[in-house]
Amino acid sequence: MRVLIFGATGMLGKALMQRWGGDEVFGLGSSQADIRRADQVMDAVQSAKPDWIVLAAAYTDVDGCELNPTLAASVNTQGANNVARAAAECHSRLLFVSTDYVFDGRGTSPYEASDQRQPINEYGKSKAQAEEKILGIIPDACIVRTSWLFGPGGKCFPDTILKLAATRPEIEVVNDQRGSPTYTFDLADATMKLCRSDATGIVHCTNSGDCTWYEFASEILSQAGSSTRVRPTTSERFVRPAERPKYSVLSPASLNAYGISMRGWEETVPDYLGQRSQINQ
């Protein structure tokens, strides 16, 4: 199988490139193929002739998207549209990495893949519109929604917490937003399995279990052996440009339907800490 990965230099893209074995894999970063440029996307797809395209390229700065919705739309929506059109023309399958932020977070039970999209920020809107455009062009595309992504070699919540803890005796973290942390390498493994299963439709793909950001930070620092104390606080105390969903836990039913399950998020923390330590040596 030939696989083309857009966004290969990003946090998830790096994990995909490292984990994907047994197939012919081509990875492109934005400097090699800007997904906002339809001509560059088409050239890349025609050159690689992939059986599967994995679109992991995105503008994921949630507050940045809120402050610059035009950029968010150009990368996350129009970029996805460009990749979908190239995939359709070249008869390639497409897996698009999306987000829990397509939901409003007002629910109290895990979101199913069939639940209605109701984004409350510009990042979520740009990804929700991308999902709709892709499925309009390629009805049998695979949309993989994930959440709270973290991993080595990129900007993510655990890295921020560990850096803060290195210089402070105490930190405050919001305790009123709940989701499922997802480790990039576990998501990469699941993505590979979905492609090999010829997956179609919307699939929710996160590590199992859920927590608040406060609970996530506490677990990270506990496993890292840090003495820094973590205090719970509210979102109102940390006003940011983009509103975040209060509850964005995703149901694993759509993933389990392919015989795929993911380990608990707490189990991934030692792997992350080990990988981060190696990079920082």
Give catalytic residue positions.
123
Provide φ and ψ at 144, rounded to 5°. Answer: -105, 110
* Cα dist from 99 to 41, 123, 142, whole Å: 22, 9, 13
> Crossing angle of helices 184-196/11-19, nearest 10°?
60
63-66 long-range Cβ contacts below 8 angstroms, 24+ apart? 63/240, 63/241, 63/242, 65/121, 65/122, 65/123, 65/126, 65/242, 66/121, 66/122, 66/123, 66/241, 66/242
CA–CA separation, 35 and 125 (whole Å):
18
- Looking up tokens 């440009």 gives 241
CA–CA separation, 68 and 162 (whole Å):
29
How far does Cα 13 stand from its chain's mean position?
Answer: 10
Three-class SS of residue 122?
helix
- Looking up tokens 């007002």 gives 106
CA–CA separation, 87 and 105 (whole Å):
32
CA–CA separation, 65 and 49 (whole Å):
32
CA–CA separation, 45 and 134 (whole Å):
16
